[in-house]
């Protein structure tokens, strides 16, 4: 895999160098990374954007984040796009990592988690590259983390009784709606508290959750409700905050055709396998976390 990282340097950890190599989870391939721009005062927060063939949208997403706060570090993980997604992101000042082939949404996400973990970021916000996730809500998601009220915060489309509306509000097909409601019910039953939007890709994580999710159990393709369940079983505190999801800016969604039905099947299977696994160690405890991940 060939990748590059541009613009602002994040906090450095002795186990990872900006000009070193990073193995992606389970792939066995190498990510090469470079920094060609000057040093920058390190940010505590990394904004992670997994992307696949989003050259038409990625520039706008990065610009919206930069306008909010130019001290946020932005990492675009290009999941083997056939277009200029990585080039456009790099020109807009984002750090970029390009995977050698289309390895799946989960691998792209975990590559970003690995980068954040090795570079010592305190917080990570993940959002989509298609423009559906409005960056203005990222501070709303970060607030409970910084206040110590949560370890993982989910951006929910359905939390408010009267959600904010705009002409471009996102809507999805029948199969996806059924799947969303099914997983909201199932997740709520399994974790013991109400979860309204377990399939949301708009999330914020603290460093303990980042360190937890770099392990091999992380799903390759659709890490959603199953990851919520895994984190709950590890003792992490999970909250939701209301956000607005809009229609994608340009192009076609990956969730079309038979893919929503496949998603439902794979997610049910992943949840079942999660329940069969041994309960993970309680990592929210700071002492347990430092034993598991020394030096962090």
Residue 16 maps to a domain? no
Cα gap 296→290, rounded to integer Å: 7
pLDDT of the residue at 18: 34
Residue 2 maps to a domain? no
Neighbours of 172 (CB within 10 A): 16
Classified as helix, coil or strand, 76 is strand
- The structure's pTM equals 0.78
Residue 247 maps to a domain? yes
Residue 10 maps to a domain? no
Return mean pLDDT, the chain.
80
- Cα-flanking dihedrals φ and ψ of residue 10, to 5°? -85, 175
Cα gap 196→240, rounded to integer Å: 8
Among the listed ranges 183-187, 199-203, 218-222, 255-259, which one has the minimum average pLDDT value? 255-259
pLDDT of the residue at 267: 85
Residue 288 maps to a domain? yes
pLDDT of 264 higher than 70:
yes
Give me the CATH number covering residue 213.
3.90.550.10
Range of the structural domain that residue 221 is part of? 21-292
pLDDT of the residue at 287: 60
Q: Which two tokens stand for residue 92?
A: 């807009």
Residue 13 maps to a domain? no
Radius of gyration of the chain (CA): 18
Q: Quick one: pLDDT band at residue 6, thresholds 50, 70, 90?
A: very low
Classified as helix, coil or strand, 54 is coil
Residue 56 maps to a domain? yes
pLDDT, average across residues 250-274:
73
pLDDT, average across residues 21-43:
43
Residue 48 maps to a domain? yes
* pLDDT tens, position by position, 101-134: 999 999 999 999 999 999 999 999 999 999 999 9
Question: What is the number of structural domains in the chain?
Answer: 1
């Amino acid at each position: 895999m060939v990748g590059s990282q541009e613009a602002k340097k994040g906090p450095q950890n002795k186990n990872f160098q900006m000009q070193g190599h990073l193995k992606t989870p389970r792939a066995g391939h190498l990510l090469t990374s470079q920094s060609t721009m000057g040093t920058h005062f390190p940010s505590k927060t990394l904004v992670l954007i997994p992307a696949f063939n989003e050259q038409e949208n990625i520039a706008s997403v990065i610009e919206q984040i930069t306008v909010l706060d130019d001290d946020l570090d932005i990492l675009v993980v290009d999941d083997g796009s056939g277009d200029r997604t990585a080039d456009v992101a790099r020109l807009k000042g984002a750090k970029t990592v390009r995977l050698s082939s289309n390895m799946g949404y989960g691998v792209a996400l975990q590559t970003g988690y690995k980068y954040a973990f090795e570079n010592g970021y305190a917080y990570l916000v993940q959002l989509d590259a298609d423009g559906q996730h409005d960056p203005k809500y990222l501070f709303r998601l970060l607030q409970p983390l910084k206040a110590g009220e949560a370890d993982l915060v989910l951006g929910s489309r359905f939390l408010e009784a009267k959600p904010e509306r705009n002409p471009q509000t996102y809507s999805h097909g029948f199969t996806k709606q059924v799947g969303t409601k099914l997983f909201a019910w199932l997740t709520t039953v399994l974790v013991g508290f109400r979860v309204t939007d377990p399939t949301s890709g708009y999330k914020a994580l603290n460093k303990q959750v980042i360190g937890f999710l770099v392990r091999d159990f992380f799903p390759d393709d659709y890490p959603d409700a199953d990851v919520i369940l895994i984190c709950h079983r590890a003792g992490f505190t999970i909250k939701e905050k209301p956000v607005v999801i809009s229609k994608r800016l340009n192009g076609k969604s990956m969730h079309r055709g038979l893919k929503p039905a496949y998603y439902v099947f794979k997610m049910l299977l992943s949840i079942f396998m999660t329940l069969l696994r041994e309960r993970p160690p309680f990592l929210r405890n700071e002492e347990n976390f430092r034993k598991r991940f020394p030096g962090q």
